[in-house]
Amino acid sequence: MKRFLSRWDAPVAGYLFIAPWLIGFLWLTAYPMLLSLYYSFTDYTLMESIDWVGFKNYIKMFTNDAKFVQSVKVTFLYVLASVPLKLVAALFVAVILNKAVKGISAYRTAIYFPSLIGGSIAVSLLWSNMFGVDGFFNKLLDLVGIQGIGWITNPGTALGSLILLNTWQFGSAMVIFLAGLKQIPKDLYEASSVDGASRWTQFRSITLPMLSPTLYFNLIMGVISAFQMFTSAFVITRGGPMNSTYVYALYLYEQAFNRYQLGYASALAWVMLIMIVVVTALISGSSKYWVFYETDMGGKK
Amino acid sequence: MMRIKWKQVSRHAAMIVFSLVMIYPVIWWIGASLKSNAELSSPNIFPAVPQWSNFTKGWNSVPGYSFTHFYLNTFTLEIAVLVATLISCTLVAFGFGRLDFPLKKFWFSLLMVTLMLPGQVLIIPQYAMFHQMGWVNTYLPFIIPHLLAGGAGGTFFVFLLIQFVRGIPKELDESAKIDGCSWFGIFWRIVLPLTKPAVVTVMIFCFLWNWDDFLGHLLYINSVDKYTVGLALRMINDSQAGQEWGQLLAMSLVSIMPATVIFMLLQKYFVEGIATTGIKG
């Protein structure tokens, strides 16, 4: 009798405990997803009735929307440049920091700090001032006799400035790399130095393969967040100059909340989701060629 | 021996230079917040005559309101969201991490999928829903989702706590059950106290992410009376078109202080939280 009770009891209790999430998932995730899929086939403006238009939004996007094309281009450029830059910086510093043990927490604090505050509007405001025509960067260039330019007012450099801002925030990726580096058994390095392996060989044949799962994680997370980049483009450049920083999330925001084209914006959102899914699927499909888990090498775990 | 020491020295030198490069904009920021407009673009870090009035004037630069008002708004919202998150996420994590129930695997895999879901897919339909319910220009679009283990970072916090709860030995439950403890008792008296380190991590990131949830605030809050600090900053920036940069930078600097103080106090939890869970700051 007691066994029966506890077996019956756990499912009910289980559902009671997960009820907040379950309600939230059904009401605030699953239902809105379906709703937005529906909206994406309509002309919905929040005020008027919803008119079914079939694939019109999607067709328009791919055949007759220069801003869509531009925002896809800018976003891919941004992802392709900022993600690798950030990863390389994070890995480079993590490897150095992994050895310099004394004072590590002070270094870590300094390097992590930009990531801590980086997403805030405050930092966007700071950078828009520093990159101005009379801003800090140009004054610095003046000192060495180089004529500065308007970094964020020049279409050729605006996106680069935002990429630089993003790269500056490599701290959390670095901390994750540091944790990964700590997992690598020390005896691997000892054995290889006995064999006379150089630093570079050790890095390529021990550190990189052993760190590849961490690299994979950082890559996926970096790509997903880079696709959604919004605040700095919205605050610093507003997509300009000449749409050179007109990222996808900004276009989506403007369609939805400036022009109230919620149907069209929903279609944009679904295309974004598909782009992210395809890119992450490509990365994870490629992972079997470059991500090594310890079990592959006959290790424990 | 000598060579090894030199290596140490050069490594530290590299790290010091690197740290300075990283922190330099922040140092410049502190200096700039005390500068007059005329001096602002000078490459000197520190101002000739510190303009402390940047802080006092900046604090009152929104007509009819002071930043005290915006900070109170932000903290009210933060506290409500933190409490909601703590209640919902710990309960759900206990359910998933501790109990067996039909379809558990199915629900858990859905939870994992939503972790990867870009927020953009949800903002439009959620906005339409909250709009119809009359929730726009209230704090409900932030509090209610967090009460349902969602909102900014919610799913991630559940996932993190589940992983942690799973690591607590199940024998504890068994003995408590024999002593006549209910499931809620096991949750409240045994598992929750042991989950403290993970709960601290969740609270830190919940605070930070909501403080920085600029897009969310932008969408749902539209009367100045309910503005958060971030929205107030943007308003000054827009209205003054950069004429009073010193004040704006001073207020921006103040706005990152809560995050900075929390970071300084809880550095250990922070770094461990990121390293073990992969949370991005």
Q: What is the rounded radius of gyration, in angstroms, for the C-alpha atoms of chain A?
A: 25
The answer to whether residues B243 and B108 belong to one domain is: yes
Cβ–Cβ gap B29/A265 under 8 Å: no
Q: How many domains does chain B have?
A: 2
* Dist CA A20 CA B145 (whole Å): 9
| Closest CB from B12, B94, B107 relative to A22 | B107
> For residue B107, what are its two tokens?
């629900």
Cβ–Cβ gap B281/A111 under 8 Å: no
* Dist CA A39 CA A45 (whole Å): 10
Report pLDDT for B242: 55
Q: Which domain holds residue B49?
A: 2-58
CA of A156, closest CA in chain B: separation in Å? 23
Report pLDDT for B240: 65
Of B38, B58, B78, at which residue does a domain stop? Answer: B58
Weakly modelled stretches of chain B, pLDDT under 70: 1-4, 240-243, 278-281
* pLDDT surpassing 90 at residue A295: no
Contacts of A105 in chain B (CB under 8 A): 267
* pLDDT surpassing 50 at residue A1: no
CA of A178, closest CA in chain B: separation in Å? 8
The answer to whether residues B46 and B99 belong to one domain is: no
CA A151 to mean position of chain CA atoms? 23
Per-residue model confidence as pLDDT tens digits over A135-172: 888 888 888 888 878 888 888 899 999 999 999 999 88
**Residue ranges of B 136-195 with Cβ closer than 8 A to chain A:** 145, 147-150, 154, 158, 177, 183, 187
The answer to whether residues B53 and B68 belong to one domain is: no
* pLDDT surpassing 90 at residue A254: yes
| Closest CB from B43, B158, B260 relative to A139 | B43
Which of these, A194, A193, A213, lies nearest to A203 by C-alpha position? A193
Q: Suggest the residue from A7, A17, A178 to mutate for an interface test with chain B (most B CBs closer than 10 A).
A: A17
Per-residue model confidence as pLDDT tens digits over A12-55: 889 999 999 999 999 999 999 999 999 999 999 877 788 899 99
CATH number for the domain harbouring residue B123: 1.10.3720.10
The answer to whether residues B54 and B69 belong to one domain is: no
Domain boundaries defined on chain A: 58-289
What percent of chain A stands above pLDDT 90?
A: 53
| Closest CB from B131, B219, B256 relative to A117 | B256
CA of A77, closest CA in chain B: separation in Å? 19
Eight-class DSSP state of A203: I
DSSP assignment of A97-122 equals HHH--TTHHHHHHHHHHHHHHHTSHH
* Dist CA B274 CA A173 (whole Å): 9
The answer to whether residues B124 and B260 belong to one domain is: yes
Report pLDDT for A2: 47
The answer to whether residues B50 and B68 belong to one domain is: no
End-to-end alpha-carbon separation of chain B, Å?
40
Fold of A58-289: MetI-like fold (1.10.3720)
Cβ–Cβ gap A100/B99 under 8 Å: no
Per-residue model confidence as pLDDT tens digits over B228-264: 999 999 888 887 665 688 888 899 999 999 989 988 8
The answer to whether residues B77 and B173 belong to one domain is: yes
A50 has a chain B CB within 8 A of its CB: no
- Per the prediction, chain A carries an average pLDDT of 88
A145 has a chain B CB within 8 A of its CB: no
The answer to whether residues B42 and B165 belong to one domain is: no
* pLDDT surpassing 60 at residue A8: no
Compute the CA torsion angle A98, A101, A104, A107 (nearest 10 deg): -70
Of B19, B42, B58, at which residue does a domain stop? Answer: B58
The answer to whether residues B53 and B124 belong to one domain is: no
Which is it for the CA torsion A200, A203, A206, A208, positive or negative? negative
The answer to whether residues B117 and B85 belong to one domain is: yes
The answer to whether residues B68 and B189 belong to one domain is: yes
Report pLDDT for B133: 94
Contacts of B96 in chain A (CB under 8 A): 17-18
Of B39, B58, B77, at which residue does a domain stop? Answer: B58
Report pLDDT for A6: 52
Report pLDDT for A108: 85
The answer to whether residues B47 and B105 belong to one domain is: no
Cβ–Cβ gap B25/A36 under 8 Å: no
Alpha helices in A40-168 (DSSP H): 56-63, 66-99, 104-118, 121-130, 136-143, 158-167
Q: Which ipTM score applies to this complex?
A: 0.89
